[in-house]
C-alpha cells in the first residue's frame, strides 16, 4: 500500500526565518526536528511570489503562464490538471484543511459555496478557511467558530483599528483569547480529522496554515521577542546612473514603499513576525504529534510555503517582487521513518519540483501529466538534484536565476533588474543597463526563451473518469 503523505504549508514564510536555516532570532523546534529527519532545500524558489498562482503551481506542477493566473484572480480552468486525480488513482483519500486560496475570496462570499469546485479538483474531504485578511469579508467554518465563541466582533474591531493605522504599522498582538486564533483553529481541525481518519487507506492530507502572513497579530503569549534581537532590515537602494528608462521606473516603483517608516518600527514588525512564526511552528507540532500517534511515523512529510515576506527589507512589506526574501522559500522533505541523518541540498529547485516529488512519493507512474518539475526525492540518498536555472512569474514580469545572476524582464523584454548575487548577495546594486553586462543578459534571455518554449507546449485532453 502507498505510504501516507502529509503536506504542511505556511503562508508568506521567509526562508531565513527558521532555526534549521540558521535563524537565531526565532524558535522553530518543530521545523528544526523535521529538517533533522529529512532533506532541507536551501535554494527553493516559488513559481510566483503571490498566493493564488503559487498554490496553483504546486497543485499542477505548471507555471502561471500555463494556467493563466499571474495574480490573485481567476482559478484553474482545467480541473483535471490537478495532481490530486493522480493521487486518487493511486488509491489515496485526499483531504484539504485550512487555507487553500485556489479561488478568489472576499465580497461576503461563503467558502462552502466553493466545495463543488474543490471536489472537482480532486479533494475528497474539505475543511477550508480563508487567510487572516479575507476572514473579514468571507464566511467559513472559521467565522462560525469565532461567532460561536463570541469573538467575531472582537476580531473585526481589531482589524478595523489596524486598517486605520495601516496593516504594516499596526504592531500589537491579537486580542483574541489564547487558543482561539485562526491558526489554532486550523490545527485543531487537522488534529480532529487525523484522529478520525480511516487507517485502511493511504491518506494525502494538506494542511494550509494562515500565518505568518500579515497582519502582525500573534497570540499574546508568543509576543516575547525583543526588537533589539532582530536583524536590521535592508535600506532603500539608490538608483545607479546606468539604469534605462524602464529599469529606472521600476526601481522607483519598488523603492516607493514606506519612505517614512523608522528602523525601530521595522524591528518591532520583525519581532512580531518571529512570534507568528513560532506560533505556526507550535501548531504544526500539534498536527505532527497527532499524525504520528494515529497513523505512525512511516509517512512522507513535506513542508513548504508559497512565497516569502520582505519584512521591511528595502522599505517593503509583503511579497510580489523577485528579491530573495520574497521569492526564495523554505522546503523540507521527511521520508517514511525519517532519514538516517539530515541532508542539506543546495540545488536550485522550484514548486513544480515539489509537485513531482509528491507524485514520486505516491508511486505514480511517469510521465506525470503536464508537470514541469523533477522529483527531489533522490536528495535523500545523497544524489544531486536541481536545475541550472529557475524561473518565477508575476503580473507582467518574469525572473530568471542561475544561482548567481538574476534578471527580471517585462512583457516588452525590457530588462528591469539584473543582480550578481555572488558579489551582491543583498541585491542592492541593479546592474540593468550597465556596460559590460550584455553577455549575461543575452545568456539569461536565451535561458528564458528555452524555458518558455519547453513549457508552452502544453496540451489539455479530456480524461474519462
Cα Rg for the chain, rounded, in angstroms? 21
Assigned domain for 254 exists: no
Structural domain range at position 208:
4-245+261-385
Assigned domain for 272 exists: yes
Residue 457 reports pLDDT greater than 80? no
Residue 300 reports pLDDT greater than 80? yes
Assigned domain for 79 exists: yes
**pLDDT tens digits, 146-202:** 999 999 999 999 999 999 999 999 999 999 999 999 999 999 999 999 999 999 999
Half-sphere exposure of 59 (CA within 13 A, CB side): 32
Element (H, E) at 54: helix 51-60
Of 58, 59, 190, residue with least CA distance to 121: 59
Assigned domain for 398 exists: no
Q: Quick one: pLDDT at residue 365?
A: 85
Element (H, E) at 283: helix 263-295
Residue 406 reports pLDDT greater than 60? yes
Q: Quick one: pLDDT at residue 465?
A: 39
In whole angstroms, give the CA distance from residue 281 to residue 292: 16
pTM: 0.96
User: Rounded mean pLDDT of 256-271?
Assistant: 96
Q: The domain that contains 303 carries what CATH number?
A: 3.40.720.10
Q: Quick one: pLDDT at residue 134?
A: 94
Sheet (strand 405-410) strand order: 390-394, 397-401, 405-410, 415-420
Confidence bin at 458 (pLDDT 50/70/90)? low
**pLDDT tens digits, 358-372:** 999 999 988 887 899
Q: Quick one: pLDDT at residue 304?
A: 98
Assigned domain for 397 exists: no
Assigned domain for 192 exists: yes
Q: Quick one: pLDDT at residue 460?
A: 47
Q: Do the Cβ atoms of 287 and 8 come closer than 8 Å?
A: yes
Assigned domain for 448 exists: no
What percentage of the chain exceeds 70 in pLDDT?
A: 98
Q: Quick one: pLDDT at residue 107?
A: 85
Confidence bin at 462 (pLDDT 50/70/90)? very low
Mean confidence (pLDDT) of the chain: 96
Assigned domain for 328 exists: yes
**pLDDT tens digits, 76-116:** 999 999 999 999 999 999 999 999 999 999 888 999 999 99
In whole angstroms, give the CA distance from residue 160 to residue 48: 30
Residue 133 reports pLDDT greater than 90? yes
Q: How many domains does the chain have?
A: 1
Task: Give the end-to-end CA distance of the chain in Å, rounded to a whole number.
Answer: 22
Place of cell 504546486: 58
Amino acid at each position: 500500500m502507498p505510504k501516507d503523505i502529509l503536506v504542511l504549508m505556511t503562508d508568506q514564510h521567509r526562508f531565513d526565518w527558521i532555526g534549521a536555516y540558521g535563524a537565531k532570532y526565532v524558535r522553530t523546534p518543530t521545523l528544526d526536528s523535521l529538517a533533522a529527519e529529512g532533506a532541507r532545500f536551501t535554494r527553493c524558489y516559488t513559481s510566483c511570489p503571490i498566493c493564488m498562482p503559487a498554490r496553483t503551481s504546486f497543485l499542477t506542477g505548471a507555471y502561471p503562464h500555463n494556467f493563466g493566473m499571474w495574480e490573485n484572480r481567476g482559478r484553474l480552468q482545467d480541473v483535471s490538471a490537478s495532481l490530486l486525480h493522480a493521487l486518487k488513482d493511486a488509491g489515496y483519500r485526499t483531504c484539504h484543511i485550512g487555507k487553500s486560496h485556489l479561488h478568489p475570496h472576499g465580497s461576503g462570499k461563503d467558502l462552502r459555496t466553493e466545495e463543488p469546485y474543490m471536489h472537482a479538483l480532486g479533494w475528497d474531504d474539505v475543511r477550508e478557511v480563508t487567510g487572516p485578511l479575507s476572514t473579514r469579508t468571507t464566511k467559513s467554518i472559521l467565522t462560525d467558530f469565532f461567532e460561536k465563541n463570541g469573538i467575531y466582533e472582537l476580531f473585526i474591531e481589531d482589524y478595523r483599528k489596524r486598517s486605520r493605522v495601516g496593516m504594516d504599522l499596526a504592531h500589537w498582538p491579537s486580542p483574541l483569547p489564547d487558543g482561539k486564533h485562526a491558526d489554532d483553529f486550523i490545527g485543531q481541525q487537522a488534529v480532529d480529522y487525523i484522529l478520525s481518519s480511516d487507517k485502511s487507506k493511504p491518506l494525502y492530507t494538506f494542511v494550509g496554515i494562515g500565518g505568518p502572513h500579515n497582519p502582525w497579530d500573534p497570540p499574546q503569549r508568543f509576543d516575547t521577542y525583543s526588537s533589539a534581537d532582530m536583524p536590521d532590515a535592508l535600506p532603500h537602494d539608490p538608483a545607479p546612473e546606468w539604469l534605462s528608462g524602464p529599469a529606472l521606473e521600476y526601481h522607483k516603483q519598488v523603492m516607493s514603499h514606506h519612505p517614512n517608516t523608522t528602523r525601530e518600527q521595522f524591528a518591532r514588525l520583525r519581532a512580531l513576525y518571529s512570534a507568528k512564526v513560532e506560533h505556526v511552528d507550535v501548531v504544526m507540532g500539534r498536527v505532527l504529534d497527532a499524525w504520528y500517534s494515529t497513523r505512525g511515523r512511516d509517512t512522507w512529510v513535506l513542508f513548504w510555503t508559497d512565497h516569502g515576506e520582505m519584512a521591511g527589507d528595502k522599505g517593503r512589506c509583503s511579497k510580489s517582487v523577485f528579491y530573495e526574501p520574497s521569492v526564495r522559500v523554505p522546503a523540507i522533505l521527511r521520508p517514511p521513518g525519517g532519514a538516517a541523518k539530515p541532508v542539506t541540498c543546495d540545488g536550485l529547485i522550484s514548486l513544480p519540483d515539489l509537485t513531482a516529488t509528491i507524485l514520486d512519493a505516491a508511486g505514480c507512474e511517469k510521465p506525470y501529466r503536464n508537470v514541469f518539475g523533477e522529483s527531489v526525492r533522490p536528495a535523500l540518498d545523497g544524489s544531486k538534484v536541481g536545475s541550472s536555472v529557475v524561473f518565477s512569474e508575476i503580473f507582467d514580469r518574469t525572473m530568471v536565476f542561475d544561482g548567481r545572476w538574476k534578471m527580471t524582464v517585462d512583457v516588452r523584454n525590457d530588462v528591469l533588474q539584473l543582480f550578481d548575487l555572488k558579489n551582491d548577495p543583498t541585491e542592492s546594486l541593479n546592474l540593468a543597463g550597465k556596460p559590460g553586462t550584455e553577455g549575461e543578459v543575452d545568456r539569461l534571455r536565451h535561458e528564458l526563451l528555452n524555458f518558455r518554449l519547453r513549457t508552452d507546449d502544453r496540451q489539455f485532453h479530456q480524461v474519462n473518469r
